[in-house]
Structure 1
Amino acid sequence: MMANPSKRKGTSLETWTVRYLAWALQDTRIDRMPLHGNADQGDLIGVMFHGEPVCVECKDTKMPNYRKHWRELKVEMANMDTPYGVLIQHRKGVGVKSLKGMARQMAVFDIGTLERFLAIHMGHVLGPDYRIRRELANRLRGESRPVPSNPMLVWMPLELFALLLNDGLALGPDDGQD
């Protein structure tokens, strides 16, 4: 058992973020990232968006420091060589040790990064699912909320971020069991 309670909380959030995203996306490649020293590439591995890796940083801190954590994530995105990243911040009063609780955690982005994610859905890729993708992008943009005291950062529930990664398709197994 870990002696450091802060480390234990962080590890728990990482573990449950893996469980949630692996369940939601039905992707067993999602896992905790091995440590890379000063070339850190986030906390999770295997999260993908249209063939590109997504840098995921998980934070469970007593007092959220969104701006500092976002700067850390930007460095890790550069280390991973990806334009996509998300900060998963524990929401106070919302449990992390269930899929339902994890669905309600904060997925935080700067506005530019969120727009990069949404551009895939708003792009000029015409086809049978264009209207559905455009509607999803508009819904996610509309449901994102400003991060307190951080005008350049927005957040949405992790469930909506998983929906974005899954191109709007239903989350979880197809058999209807959770």
Structure 2
Amino acid sequence: MANPNKTRGTAWESAVRNFLNAFLGLVDERGAFRNPFDGMNVRRPAQEGSADVGDVHAAPFILECKDVRNAAVPTWLRQARVEAVNAGFPYGVVVHKRRGYGVAAGRVHFDVRTWTRTRTALGLSTRAMFERYGFAASLRGLDTGRWYLTTDVAGFATLLSDIRAGVARAVR
């Protein structure tokens, strides 16, 4: 019998991958890649060796997907940073499933450093980044290591599209 937690986690990873590929127009109406060899396709990598490389690769992001009831966002963000380094990607974020909602409503969490690096790469002001992608801040105490910024999967999909195209610079 399969592990139900692993099955649920794999289903969430696949749902996130499928949503992003469809949003970015990388798949046809049947869900097949338009170009299977395109490095920009969002994929679930096979885990190899002892160094985890994240659950979903959506260049330039590594997505650490979580389908659990109780959130541990700061811990997950540390894990995402390590996995991004292991995979050779510049950004690691966490995608947390919201129970009872579709994929687009899932929560995407950025640590402050990753959010700032992404904002800078897009050439956006703090206000523009919040407004364009629907971010909210979670500032917990004085320990900035526990602070993070959150948008939904739909907002992240727009951000991913923009960072890949470099179009947000014109939005300022």
Which bracket does the TM-score occupy, shorter chain normalised?
0.7 to 0.9
Provide the TM-score with structure 1 as the length reference.
0.72
CA distance change for structure 1 residues 155 and 135 in 2, over 3 Å: closer, same or farther? closer
Q: Distance in 2 between matches of 1:164 and 1:39?
A: 27
Q: What residue in structure 2 maps to residue 159 of structure 1?
A: 154
Question: Contact 2:95–2:106 at 8 Å: present in 1 too?
Answer: yes
| Partner SS, residue 166 of structure 1 | helix
Residue 121 (structure 1) aligned with residue 122 (structure 2): yes
Q: Deviations over 1:67-122 (max 9, x none)?
A: 2211111110111222212210011332xxxxxx1111001100110111111222
Residue 112 (structure 1) aligned with residue 113 (structure 2): yes
Q: What residue in structure 1 maps to residue 61 of structure 2?
A: 54
Q: Report the alpha carbon displacement of residue 135 of structure 1 after superposing the two structures with TM.
A: 8.2
Q: Distance in 1 between matches of 2:138 and 2:5?
A: 23
Q: Report the alpha carbon displacement of residue 140 of structure 1 after superposing the two structures with TM.
A: 3.8
Residue 71 (structure 1) aligned with residue 78 (structure 2): yes
Letter in 2 for 1:21: L
Question: Contact 2:61–2:91 at 8 Å: present in 1 too?
Answer: yes
Q: Which of structures 1 and 2 has the larger relative contact order (alpha carbons within 8 angstroms, sep 6+)?
A: 1
Q: What residue in structure 1 maps to residue 51 of structure 2?
A: 39
Provide the TM-score with structure 2 as the length reference.
0.75
Structure 1's unaligned 5+ residue stretches are: 95-100, 124-132, 170-178
Residue 9 (structure 1) aligned with residue 8 (structure 2): yes
Residue 146 (structure 1) aligned with residue 141 (structure 2): no
Q: Report the alpha carbon displacement of residue 36 of structure 1 after superposing the two structures with TM.
A: 2.2
Q: Distance in 2 between matches of 1:44 and 1:102?
A: 14
Q: Report the alpha carbon displacement of residue 62 of structure 1 after superposing the two structures with TM.
A: 2.4
Q: Report the alpha carbon displacement of residue 149 of structure 1 after superposing the two structures with TM.
A: 4.6
Q: Distance in 2 between matches of 1:154 and 1:25?
A: 23
Question: Contact 2:63–2:94 at 8 Å: present in 1 too?
Answer: yes
Letter in 2 for 1:137: M
Q: Distance in 2 between matches of 1:153 and 1:135?
A: 16
| Partner SS, residue 50 of structure 2 | helix
| Partner SS, residue 70 of structure 1 | helix
